[in-house]
Amino acid sequence: MGTLTVSQKMTLAQDFLPINGTDYIELYVGNAKQAAHYYKTAFGFQSCAYAGPETGVRDRASYVLKQGKIRLVLTTPLNSDNSISQHILKHGDGVKILALWVDDAYKAFEETTNRGGKVYMEPQTLTDEHGEVKISGIYTYGETVHLFVERKNYNGVFLPGYKVWNSKYNPTDTGLLYVDHCVGNVGWNRMNPTIKWYEDVMGFVNILSFDDKQINTEYSALMSKVMSNGNGYVKFPINEPAEGKKKSQIEEYLDFYEGEGVQHIAIATNDIVSTVKQLMARGVEFLDAPPNAYYEELPNRVGKIDEDIAPLQELGILVDCDEEGYLLQLFTKPVEDRPTLFFEIIQRKGAQSFGAGNFKALFESIEREQAKRGNL
Ligand code: FE2
């Protein structure tokens, strides 16, 4: 397999679970009203749909935000006797649901649970005046869930039970287009079983692997394997901590999330310089720029690129390449007080990889932040 490109490896995935893309990502948060304001103001998401007491939902309020093809759902419980409250008490704000858009949610459930998937939601059909949505779900790592969403017979705003959310406050978007990949952090010795789970239960294929020899700094290390479905529309890298002189960022995550979960959501843009400038101006905090030497070495490491280096350096944007092209990327700081979930902004120019050449520069930057928190 080592001689195949990433694109060639994807064709080896099995097709018992056809996936059209990410349907939505749902976060459980302590105060969805305020979180929605943050994602609108800082990231440029647009008001889309709402469910809560005003729409007949008694136990929660959910805000659906949209930008490009991305749907972000922010849900908060309305009382303490609630599984969402328990989730937030343990994990803080974080990703609960990675929902996948499928053509047949009943078949997706049957195929995956027959292969060992643990049931989260039995298949069900939700209806309203706009049609029907079929939905089912299984657990993946930690308490995180994959829902299968079939919406070919639905033309409502989001799901049955949701109403259009008309807001008078509508900041402009920032050029975010679609979910490129979502990364999970798992515990010690849990990466390979998780990889096998994605192979066996979901029919995914391992397209890239990094070990602690490749991804390490003076202090800490991690191992990572990237799982993809056959068409490459859904990619889930899985990280595991590795032994280092000090505590790795993955361990810090596991300590503060109190378990396995989603580490970062990578969102694609067609113009990373413009997108990052806007995000910074609107208060999104990014990791510090790598040292000047990183940009001096850039032409040697990645070859010729279309962009001028000066604006990349000014914004701290990282560049990496593989045999199929190059990519530009930048990582936010965690978006909660617990050092858990963060975002990545990525622009691909041919490359199908994930920026392994940047991991060292990235890690050193993360470790500076970890040290400030007293967790290194
Ligand atoms: Fe990433």
Using the mean position of ligand 1's atoms as its centre, give its distance from the Cα of residue 264 in Å: 7
Contact 9, 1 (CB under 8 A): yes
- Calculated CA dihedral for residues 166, 73, 123, 105, nearest 10 degrees: 90
pLDDT tens digits for 38-76? 999 999 999 999 999 999 999 999 999 999 999 999 999
Given a contact cutoff of 8 angstroms between Cβ atoms, the answer to whether 334 and 340 are in contact is yes
Ligand 1 mean position, distance from CA 156 (Å): 32
Half-sphere exposure of 142 (CA within 13 A, CB side): 25
2 within a domain of the structure (yes/no)? no
Low-confidence winner among 5-14, 24-33, 68-77, 213-222 (lowest mean pLDDT): 213-222
Q: What is the CATH number of the domain that holds 237?
A: 3.10.180.10
Asked if the structure places residue 121 within a domain, the reply is yes
Q: Which residues pair with 321 in a beta bridge?
A: 326
Helices 249-257 and 359-372 cross at an angle (nearest 10°) of 50
The structural domain count of the chain equals: 2
DSSP string, 304-315: --SS-HHHHHHH
Interval between CA 366 and ligand 1 midpoint (Å): 14
Q: Is residue 146 part of a domain?
A: yes
Which of 126-135, 174-183, 291-300 shows the lowest mean pLDDT across its residues? 291-300
Assess if residue 285 is contained within a domain.
yes
- Which of 164-178, 284-298, 361-375 is predicted most confidently? 164-178
Ligand 1 centroid from CA 237, angstroms: 8
* pLDDT at res. 358: 83
What does the pLDDT read at residue 254? Answer: 97
**Is residue 87 domain-shared with residue 219, that is, in the same domain?**
no
In DSSP terms, 83 is beta-bridged to: none
For residues 119-146, average pLDDT = 98
Residue pLDDT, tens place only, 225-268: 999 998 999 999 999 988 877 788 899 999 999 999 999 999 99
Q: Is residue 169 within 8 Å of residue 176, measured between CB atoms?
A: no
- Between CA 183 and CA 208 the distance in angstroms is 13
Same-domain pairing of 318 and 205: yes
> From ligand 1's centre to the CA of 344, what distance in Å?
6
pLDDT per residue over 11-29, tens digit each?
777 788 999 999 999 999 9
In the predicted structure, residue 212 carries a pLDDT above the cut 70: no
253 and 330 in one domain?
Answer: yes
Name the helix (H) or strand (E) containing 342. Answer: strand 342-349
pLDDT beyond 60 at 2: no
Rounded distance from Cα 265 to ligand 1 centre (Å): 7
Residue 126 CA to ligand 1 centre (angstroms): 34
Shared domain for 180 and 152, answered yes or no, is no
pLDDT in tens, 328-338: 999 999 999 99
Task: Tell the residue number behind the tokens 């007080």, with chain if given.
Answer: 337
Residue 34 lies in a domain: yes
Note the pLDDT of residue 356.
82
Answer yes or no: do 229 and 323 share one domain: yes
More confident site: 276 or 3: 276
Q: Which residue has the higher pLDDT, 16 or 136?
A: 136
Q: Is the domain of 335 the same as that of 306?
A: yes
Residues 191 and 328 in one domain: yes
Whole-number Å distance, alpha carbon 97 to ligand 1 midpoint, is: 18
Task: Determine contact, residues 198/221, Cβ cutoff 8 Å.
Answer: no
Rounded to the nearest whole angstrom, what is the distance from the C-alpha of residue 179 to the centroid of ligand 1? 11
Q: Quick check: 224 pLDDT over 80?
A: yes
- pLDDT at position 63: 98
- Helical H runs in the chain? 6-10, 32-41, 83-91, 105-114, 191-202, 249-257, 272-281, 292-302, 309-315, 359-372
Query: Is the pLDDT at 363 greater than 80, yes or no?
Result: no
Domain hosting 155: range is 19-164
CA of 124 to the centre of ligand 1 (A): 33
Question: Which has the higher per-residue pLDDT, 212 or 283?
Answer: 283
Phi, psi dihedrals of residue 274, rounded to the nearest 5°: -65, -45
Residues near 48 by Cβ (< 8 Å), separated by ≥ 6? 64, 65, 66, 71, 157, 158, 164, 165
Percent of the chain clearing pLDDT 90 (strictly above): 78
Task: Name the burial class of residue 24, with classes exposed (0-12), middle (13-18) and buried (19+) by CB atoms within 10 angstroms of its CB.
Answer: buried
pLDDT of residue 364: 75
On whether residue 12 sits in a domain, the answer given is no
Residue 3 is predicted with a pLDDT of: 72
Residues 59, 189 within the same domain: no
Phi, psi of 333 (to 5 degrees): -75, 165
**143-179: pLDDT as tens digits:** 999 999 999 999 999 999 999 999 999 999 999 999 9
| 184 and 158 within one domain | no
198 vs 353, more confident: 198
